[in-house]
Structure 1
C-alpha cells in the first residue's frame, strides 16, 4: 500500500482529539473551523497535515472521497 493511500485511510478514520469538536471526524469538521485553523496555523505533526488536507479537500468540494474511503476501509 502506498503512503498516500495509507494517509487517506487514516484521515478517513481520524477524529478531532480536542476542543469544541472533539470526537468528530476531521473530514466532517465545519468549514469555518478548518479555515480558522488555516489562518491561525495548523497543529504540528500528523494531525496538522491531516487538517491541512481537509482544508484543501473542503476548498475543492472533495470531502465525499474521504467519506467513501471510510466506508470501504
Structure 2
C-alpha cells in the first residue's frame, strides 16, 4: 500500500478538503478492492464504509461532549 501523504497547505486553504480526498483515494480504493476480493459486494463495502464513517463521527462528537461535561464537573467545588 502507498503511504498517505500529509497536508501541504494551511488549515484555511479552500482546497484542503480536495487535497485530503486525493491523499486518501489510493488507500480507499485498495480497501474496497481487498474487501471485494474477499467476497463482499461493492455496494455492501461502500455502504459499510459510509456507516463506519458516520459512527466514527458520532463517537468523536460524543467523546468531545463527554469531555466538556466532565471538565465542567471537575471545576465545581
Give the TM-score, by structure 2 length.
0.28
Please state which structure has a larger fraction of its residues in helix: 2
Give the TM-score, by structure 1 length.
0.29
